[in-house]
């Protein structure tokens, strides 16, 4: 796995993604790399909810508040992301996104924040799920859905996977 001194970042309820990178002199700098605002529609923004960088540093997955979509960017050149797949519909809303360590599966959950989660006219939560898809580098293929409402599991939000097995509680070596 290559060793890169950069990270992608967004801030809460904004429509921009930043690259934080180490310069040759050892200092760090930031650079705006993706702007989801629409200059033709002032005041309308696509708000980033979550981002996830693939384990091979090739793809960046981005979910958007209340849209239920994920967009994928090829970040082989992190300074110039290119769309790989845009606005893939996961559900009524999508929140967290995570990729398996082998890069073959993507996982999504729906709950953003209980006060903001979508509800029907009766005030009941809708579309509360954990979904799994295979990822072939071009598109998603649905594999599994756990309906948290049907199973009475609450509201799905965060996912954590066993990365300790990958790293053995140590940082990857510089190669």
Q: Using H for helix, E for strand and C for coil, what is the string for 77-138?
A: CCCCCEEEEEEEECCCCCCCEEECCCCCEEEEECCCCCCCCCECCCCCECCCEEEEEEECCC
Chain-centre distance for alpha carbon 38: 20
- Domains held by the chain: number: 1
Angstrom CA distances, 9 to 97, 131, 141, stand at 14, 24, 27
In this prediction, residue 1 carries a pLDDT of 40
Q: How far apart are CA 127 and CA 138, in angstroms?
A: 25
Residue 103 lies in a domain: yes
Q: Do the domain assignments include residue 56?
A: yes
Q: What is the pLDDT of residues 17-36, one digit of tens each?
A: 999 999 999 999 999 999 98
Q: Extract the tokens encoding 86.
A: 């845009």
Residue 6 domain-assigned (yes or no) = no
For residue 137, tell me if it sits in a domain.
yes
List the pLDDT tens digit at each of the 175 positions of the chain.
Answer: 456 789 999 987 789 999 999 999 999 999 999 998 877 777 777 889 899 998 888 999 999 888 899 999 999 999 999 999 999 999 988 888 988 878 889 999 988 777 777 888 998 888 888 999 999 999 999 999 998 888 888 777 766 665 555 545 555 555 5
- Report the CATH number at residue 148: 2.130.10.10
Largest CA distance in the chain: 59
CA distance 39 to 71: 19
Q: Which domain holds residue 81?
A: 41-167
Single pTM value for the model: 0.84
For residue range 110-125, list pLDDT tens digits in order.
Answer: 887 777 778 889 988 8
């Amino acid at each position: 796995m290559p060793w890169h001194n950069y990270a992608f970042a967004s801030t809460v309820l904004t429509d921009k993604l930043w690259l934080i990178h180490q310069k040759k002199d050892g200092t760090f700098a930031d650079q705006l790399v993706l702007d989801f605002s629409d200059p033709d529609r002032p005041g309308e923004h696509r708000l980033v909810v979550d981002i996830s960088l693939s384990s091979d540093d090739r793809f960046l997955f981005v979910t958007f508040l209340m849209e239920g979509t994920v967009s994928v960017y090829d970040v082989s050149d992190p300074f110039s992301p290119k769309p790989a797949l845009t606005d893939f519909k996961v559900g009524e809303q999508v929140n967290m996104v995570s990729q398996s360590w082998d890069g073959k599966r993507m996982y999504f959950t729906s709950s953003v924040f209980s006060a903001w989660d979508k509800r029907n006219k009766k005030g009941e939560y809708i579309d509360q799920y954990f979904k799994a898809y295979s990822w072939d580098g071009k598109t998603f293929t649905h594999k599994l859905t756990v309906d948290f409402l049907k199973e009475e599991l609450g509201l799905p939000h965060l996912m954590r996977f066993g990365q300790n097995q990958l790293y053995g509680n140590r940082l990857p070596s510089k190669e």
